Amino acid sequence: MKEDFFVLDTIPLKVRPKDVLKQLGYPDKRSVPPATRKKVDAEIGETQSLIEPEGAYLRLEGVPEKGFQLFSGAEGVILALATIGAAVEHRAGKLVKTERAAKGLIVDAIGTVAVEQTADFVEHKIHRDCDSCGWKVSRRYAPGYCGWEMEAQKEIFSHFPDTLGIKLTSSCLMIPEKSLSFACLLSSEGDFSKVKVGNCKRCKQEECPYRSEPYQSGELGAFDS
């Protein structure tokens, strides 16, 4: 089933203050006090060297049976990992525990921005590679979101043994925490309409903060029972 396995260890990242401030909840730069902006700039400088972005992905023909029911209908799937390593979250945790919570929060936000950028880079590379092979690729989906069960992590990680130093806990969370796993669907025609993942109308997780439209009964979804 496995066709290719790529590791990306040279990922150019630039954590921008405006992205970190957005992650911290500021709606615009006018709402940022000068002291906070100064702290964010200083922490980006301090933290940048701790960020170790890496990614990996592989392409599967067909869709795995276990944990990927919502993906049925796709012709293939790309599985991917992205991480920035553990150093940033260790620094954030240490700062919060030593009564420097503001700095810790800023460092945590820097880590979140960095791992999202890493995943963006991996996803971009996937799209570029697949385009050149004639495949159409969907946006990325991550276990735990859009109605996709966390158990799928086990299937994803079974294809990436000892990759990038990411470990899966018994509850399917990743260590380092600043890691992301995701899947993209493949189609020769670019038609993903039959795939069930990522459709709020089909998801019964009523309290999900990411819900964009109401659940419609009768639609089969991940949380139907």
Q: What are the residues binding other proteins (CB under 8 A)? A: 24-26, 31, 33, 35-36, 39, 92-93, 96-97, 99-102, 104-106, 108, 144, 150, 169-173, 175, 177, 205-209
Residue 147 CB, nearest approach to other proteins (Å): 10
Nearer Cβ to other proteins (5/223): 223
Nearer Cβ to other proteins (170/193): 170
Residue 213 CB, nearest approach to other proteins (Å): 17
Q: How far apart are CA 160 and CA 5, in angstroms?
A: 9
Q: How far apart are CA 51 and CA 57, in angstroms?
A: 20
Nearer Cβ to other proteins (24/58): 24
Is 102 in a helix, a strand, or coil?
A: helix
Residue 86 CB, nearest approach to other proteins (Å): 12
Nearer Cβ to other proteins (170/217): 170
Q: How far apart are CA 130 and CA 59, in angstroms?
A: 10
Residue 144 CB, nearest approach to other proteins (Å): 6
Residue in 222, 123, 106 with CA at minimum distance from that of residue 180: 123
Q: How far apart are CA 73 and CA 194, in angstroms?
A: 6
Residue in 79, 59, 69 with CA at minimum distance from that of residue 194: 69
